[in-house]
Amino acid sequence: MDILQAIIIGIIEGFTEFLPISSTGHMIVASEFLGIEQSAVIKAYEVIIQFAAILAVMLLYREKINLKEINLWSKIIAAFFPLAIIGFLLKDWVKEIFVTQTVAWMFIVGGVIFIVVEYFHKDEDKESQDIEEVTWRQAMSIGFAQVLSLVPGTSRAGSTIIGGMLSGVSRKASTEFSFLLAIPVMMAVSGYDLLKHYKDFMGADLTAFVVGFFVAFIVAYITIKMFIVFLQRFTFVAFGIYRIIFGILLLMLL
């Protein structure tokens, strides 16, 4: 992987990780388009850019990362456990269904779900308008919804946001809860992958890794800020339409 490829993959990771459009799906397509083989070195690089995305969230929501927010973080950690437990038990099954066809169909299914949910969703009627108002019931609903993201192409952000909206949380609060929930999830996944691939860093082009890290961090930081502004004026319908179109195109290319 050269520096240009590292920059492109870093941009895709930073832009798609926190949007409900599946970063995994886009990474698969981009890697195939760029001719990047899914080697151990690429897996190690993905760990690096995921850490960059985590840092972007932590910087933007640094006022939430303190002991005063212990109630909120208790709910976030509780919401993390369903994915951690079920993901560990089903990790071999997930590898078996990790194919491009599955990604394409889940893009389409997820897009339809977003459009349907938005048709019935009324933000002003929701019980929890702010992230601090998310209840334990809603937090666990989001946590179990996140388990669906084990299916490639579903999108972790998409499943948690939909889980929040269906359980009575506003768009903005669902999205911000999804952002914060990404911290323990991505730390666990990246940490596990780091233990598996740490030896691969020795033979890798560290210049490309460093460049990709900063690109992913900057793009993720900007994307999160713009996403919150977007939600103040628009719904998730556009993301639903995009998912359907992307999924259909992917099936056509196959």
- What is the residue-level pLDDT of the chain in tens, covering all 254 positions? 788 888 999 999 999 999 999 887 788 778 778 777 766 667 777 778 888 999 999 999 999 998 889 999 999 999 999 999 998 898 778 777 777 888 899 999 999 999 999 999 888 888 888 999 999 999 999 999 999 999 988 999 999 999 999 999 999 999 999 999 999 998 888 777 777 766 666 666 678 888 999 999 999 999 999 999 999 889 999 999 999 999 999 898 87
Residue 235: the pLDDT is 93
Q: Please tell me whether residue 128 adopts helix, strand or coil conformation.
A: strand
Is the alpha carbon torsion for 100, 106, 112, 115 positive or negative? negative
Residue 239: the pLDDT is 95
Residue 147: the pLDDT is 95
Residue 31: the pLDDT is 79
Closest CA to 24 of 9, 40, 6, 44: 9
The first and second tokens of residue 16, run together, are 């798609």
Residues 6+ apart with CB under 8 A from 192: none
Please, are residues 167 and 117 in contact by the beta-carbon 8 Å criterion? Answer: no
Residue 242: the pLDDT is 96
The first and second tokens of residue 133, run together, are 């108002």
AA identity, residue 49: I
Residue 38: the pLDDT is 67
Residues 6+ apart with CB under 8 A from 57: 18, 179, 180, 182, 183, 220, 224
Residue 200: the pLDDT is 63
Domain spans in the chain, listed from the N-terminal domain onward: 3-253
Residue 139: the pLDDT is 96
